[in-house]
């Protein structure tokens, strides 16, 4: 295993083995059915989940995040309830908690299946996915249709929806076999496909989307399903609470929460670029160790997160301290001469000075924005300012107001910034024309890189 792959696997293994501290709400092992009063009485919502990039995990500051965490938190907040999270090692354990009645709600990236709906009370759906057969990109021949599947070994997580999908395919196509694994999660199985320890596995498309950035050698051989829904389940007989969850999910607040999850965790990932991500993972091994302490020092002095600074630097120079652009910006942070002079950076090709200067410049962009702008929008707007300049960003914020958009929302500003290159709009702005589409892609790439790089700072 390369060091880059190790860097990606280790944090994943951490989040998949459960967490016992650092959550904003407490975790427990569950309560006996007869003691589990409804949250309407206790004000506490018991939630079963599992650790994973598409469910619930801890960030580098030990704060809980994840799509399921965000959705459930918004739901509970709307009801004035606190949450008691129970971590489980696998989908099978989550389903066992539902069977035992040890939880009010299971929010663990569960596919809505007829077989599950017979056993439990179905809650609302929140995400549409496709189940995909994933193999190593060097596999030859690559199984592109079900008739080719008997030629490869397939391992999937036990009690997952993938078991039903493969069982159905096996009944339709002779020779298809697979192994159920009751100890490894889908994310771990994907990492083992990348290491060529197993041939192939099956995973939801949202999991594949996230994981391929860490493991560029993963390839989607084929889609096995279309339009499956992920959503919540409740113990059998929980019709009242299920109705409450569905009502909330279908409300304006629920729609906004789903939109936030899409924007926060998925939308910025974009199209998969094998060459770019393979190079990034290699450079995490080859180049980042030379500068990682400098990024950490810059975080201490400026408050800008080290992994964010590293991602910004990678976007700017691919961590090449001698980088020079045709327009004259140079160094590991690609500072202009004027910016460097204003920051007191005498030598832009000195990585220590450049990283410190670039971090102070980003912190200044961040500080100059109104404190009322929520995170992470404020950071995204600061990055856009770093890229396009504060004047053009202020123009775009004013244009957003004129168009009835929210200048404090990055989702809205992603739509407005490109208008700085539109002749219908930029002549009326103070600073005129700018390639406003560039900061949108700039922020998207930095967010993507940061997700991969962050494991090196844990």
Active site residues: 316
Instruction: Give dist(CA 8, CA 12) in Å, integer.
Output: 7
114 Rama sector, left if φ>0, alpha if ψ -120 to 50, beta otherwise:
alpha
- At 86, give phi and psi (nearest 5°): -115, 120
The answer to whether 221 and 31 have CB atoms below 8 angstroms apart is: no
Residue 184 token pair: 């490894």
Residue 385 token pair: 């300012």
Residue 164 token pair: 């039903």
Of 392, 326, 322, 335, which is closest to residue 362 (Cα–Cα)?
Answer: 335
Q: Considering Cα of 301, then 305, then 307, then 308, what sign does the dihedral take?
A: negative
Report the SS3 class of residue 422: coil
Other beta carbons within 10 Å of 257: 22
Residue 90 token pair: 């696998």
DSSP conformational letter for 381: H
For tokens 């596919």, name the residue: 111
Instruction: Give dist(CA 358, CA 311) in Å, integer.
Output: 12
Report the SS3 class of residue 324: strand
b/e per residue 278-287 (b: at least 16 CB within 10 A)? eebbebbeeb
The gap between the terminal CA atoms of the chain, to the nearest Å, is 19
Of 371, 344, 375, which is closest to residue 358 (Cα–Cα)?
Answer: 344
The answer to whether 197 and 139 have CB atoms below 8 angstroms apart is: no
Question: How far lies 447's CA from each of 316, 376, 413, in Å?
Answer: 13, 11, 16
For tokens 């509970």, name the residue: 76
Residue 452's Cβ-count burial label (10 Å; 0-12, 13-18, 19+) is buried
Q: How far is CA 418 from the centre of its chain?
A: 25
The answer to whether 107 and 280 have CB atoms below 8 angstroms apart is: no
């Amino acid at each position: 295993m390369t060091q880059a792959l190790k860097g990606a696997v280790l944090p994943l293994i951490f989040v998949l083995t459960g967490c016992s501290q650092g959550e904003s709400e407490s975790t427990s092992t569950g309560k006996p059915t007869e003691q589990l009063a409804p949250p309407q009485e206790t004000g506490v919502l018991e939630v079963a989940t599992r650790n994973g990039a598409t469910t619930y995990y801890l960030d580098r500051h030990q704060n809980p995040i994840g799509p399921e965490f965000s959705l459930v938190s918004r739901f509970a907040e709307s009801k004035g309830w606190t949450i008691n999270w129970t971590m489980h090692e696998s989908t099978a354990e989550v389903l066992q908690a539902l069977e035992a009645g040890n939880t009010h709600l299971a929010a663990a990236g569960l596919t809505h299946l007829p077989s599950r709906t017979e056993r439990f009370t179905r809650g609302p759906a929140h995400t549409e996915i496709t189940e995909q057969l994933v193999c190593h990109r060097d596999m030859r021949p690559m199984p592109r249709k079900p008739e080719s599947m008997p030629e490869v070994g397939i391992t999937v997580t036990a009690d997952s929806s993938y078991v039903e999908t493969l069982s159905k395919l096996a009944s339709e196509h002779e020779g298809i076999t697979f192994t159920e694994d009751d100890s490894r999660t889908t994310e771990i199985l994907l990492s083992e496909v990348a290491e060529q320890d197993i041939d192939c596995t099956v995973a939801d498309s949202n999991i594949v989307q996230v994981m391929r950035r860490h493991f560029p050698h993963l390839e989607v051989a084929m889609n096995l399903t279309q339009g499956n829904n992920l959503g919540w389940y409740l113990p059998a007989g929980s019709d009242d609470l299920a109705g409450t969850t569905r009502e909330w999910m279908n409300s304006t607040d629920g729609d906004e929460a789903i939109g936030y999850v899409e924007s926060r965790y998925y939308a910025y990932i974009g199209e998969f670029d094998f060459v770019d991500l393979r190079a990034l993972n290699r450079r995490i091994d080859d180049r980042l160790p030379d500068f990682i302490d400098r990024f950490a020092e810059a975080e201490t002095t400026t408050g800008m997160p080290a992994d964010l600074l590293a991602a910004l630097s990678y976007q700017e120079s691919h961590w090449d301290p001698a980088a020079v652009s045709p327009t004259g910006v140079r160094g590991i942070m690609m500072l202009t001469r004027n910016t460097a002079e204003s920051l007191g950076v005498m030598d832009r090709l000195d990585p220590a000075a450049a990283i410190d200067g670039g971090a102070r410049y980003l912190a200044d962009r961040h500080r100059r924005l109104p404190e009322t702008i929520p995170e992470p929008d404020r950071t995204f707007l600061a990055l856009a300012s770093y890229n396009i300049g504060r004047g053009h960003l202020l123009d775009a914020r004013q244009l957003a107001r004129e168009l009835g958009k929210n200048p404090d929302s990055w989702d809205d500003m992603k739509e407005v910034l490109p208008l700085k290159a539109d002749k219908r709009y930029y002549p009326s702005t103070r600073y005129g024309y700018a390639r406003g589409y560039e900061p949108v892609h700039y922020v998207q790439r930095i967010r993507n890189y940061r997700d991969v790089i962050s494991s090196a700072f844990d």
